[in-house]
Structure 1
């Protein structure tokens, strides 16, 4: 069975490639790794590593011609950029996704598709804990685009063209590497940079509560969705992945406990109203009973998330 990861050069894509090569999804015999810059191969399985822009004319058809049985669609313009660059966000996050689904539909093999959606599909007002059937009311272009792709994939699956599952990922923290343009990027930066002895800014109040998961647990959730028997996951075309609810202040408390007060003192407080508006428009906690019943993984608490990062990168 051939698996394709679109967005494989990103942090989640690279980790997912490694997990699959290590057997996280039974039955995979080879990998096609795709990104705008050719990803690095991973040991353990035969790999094709391709540089391709999913939004370019003909790119989706070229990828579909490789006949994948399973596609992880992780490619996206992130939240901050999608809000600032309206046309780019729609071209990449919506139009390119529709082109991909059409190209896969033309195969007539009903490939499995796992789409990385986001909690940004929700918007205020919402309760303290958002139920699984809560109405979609995105408050950003990024959230709107993700919601539209969820609906597309569900309809293509209903019609029997694909077998699709959309996973609403929690905010992923702590991300390694350089900062990105995501509105949530500071939720990694206020931990990653101080652990490296560097200054970081927190643009929101400490009482801001967020729904997060670690990189490893997030990737394990993506792989788990693909490994589940289709008959078991098919009734749930969209799932809220499991996460934990934590305040920014609690995250900084954990930083201080792990690295001391000097590390916490490296975090400055310069408010950014634009970032705060986006982040505070996201829910603080979710009901994830369906994901729990399907045995999706979850982090036990935030100190465990921070320890995961320190053990791997600090």
Structure 2
């Protein structure tokens, strides 16, 4: 089993690589090669099989051709630029999130090897006039460029699968929290930073009110689900290869209460409540009444509580 992770230098890519190294198999077959590809050289990982790293700019078809070879059995297509960045720089968002996805899928078509392709979409595809509750069969009505680009990627995954060019499956990820590391340019970044920084003894700013609700999943559960998603049989996926990954809805106040229950009262005192209109404008169009019935039927799961999200960060990622 030869696996390629495009976006292998990012948080999810690195965690996925380490999980695959620990498992040693995918789709019931021993892993014989793993390649981590990203715009910059990904950090290497230890594994009981060969692990290579490569630079790949998915906006460049030649770079994609050099990375996606006929030896690849499974491709995780995780690479993207995040929501605020894609909103600020429309050309960059289109080049990477839309045409980058197209370049990878088109390379698969040219090769004719029909690899399994696992594509990470986003709950940003929901919005506008789509009626609650939302889920697998809700029509995409994104209110950001990032959401629009991901929605187009979903359609491409379905169509390239229908034509027999790939064996695709796309998962609409909840917002991942608590994310480790430094803040990124995602509008949702504060949904981790208001927990991560206080847990690390640092101050953080919350730009929205305590009653703001959103749909979340921990990094640990996301990785579990991405591996389960690759293992699914094509016959069980049906004609629509796009589905919502399970998550749970929490308010900011509930998340902070969960942090306090697990880590004590100290971290919450490090949060500054400062409204930020630019962030509020983006996140106000996001939806949270979301259901993942198909993925649940297929064995994917959400965290049991947000206390678990906090515990996972303290166990897996706290410096």
Asked if Structure 1 and Structure 2 have the same fold, meaning a TM-score greater than 0.5 normalized by the shorter chain, the answer is yes
Map of 1:163-312 to 2, 5 A cutoff?
A: 163-312=167-316
The root-mean-square deviation of aligned C-alpha atoms, in Å, is 1.4
Q: Indicate the larger mover: 192-201 or 57-66.
A: 57-66
Tell me which residue corresponds to 1:33: 36
Q: How far apart, CA to CA, are the structure 1 residues paired with 2:179 and 2:99? A: 27
Which whole-Å CA distance do the structure 1 matches of 2:223 and 2:238 have between them? 20
* CA shift for structure 1 position 234: 4.1
- 2:18 paired residue number: 18
TM-aligned CA deviation for residue 265 of structure 1? 1.4
Report the CA distance between 1:53 and its aligned residue.
1.6
> CA 1:251–1:42 in 2, change beyond 3 Å: closer, same or farther?
same
> Hey, what's the Cα distance between the residues in 1 that align with 2:51 and 2:70?
12
* Structure 2 spans left out of the alignment, 5+ residues: none
| Structure 2 CA distance for partners of 1:240 and 1:174, relative to 1, 3 Å | same
State whether residues 132 and 286 of structure 1, in contact with CA within 8 Å, keep that contact through their aligned partners in structure 2.
Answer: no
Q: Is the 8 A contact 1:17 1:42 kept in 2?
A: no
- Equivalent of 2:119, from 115, 118, 125? 115
**1 CA distance for matches of 2:250 and 2:287?**
12
Gaps spanning 5+ residues in structure 1: where? none
Cα distance in 2 between the residues matched to 1:159 and 1:228? 19
Q: Per the alignment, in what secondary structure is the counterpart of residue 117 of structure 2?
A: strand
Alpha carbons 2:41, 2:53 under 8 Å: kept? yes
The range that moved more, 217-226 or 23-32, is 23-32
The two structures have a TM-score, normalised by structure 2, of 0.95
Which deviates more from structure 2 when the two are superposed, residues 51-60 or residues 300-309? 51-60
Aligned position for 1:7: 7
Rounded Cα–Cα distance in structure 1 between residues aligned with 2:116 and 2:238:
10
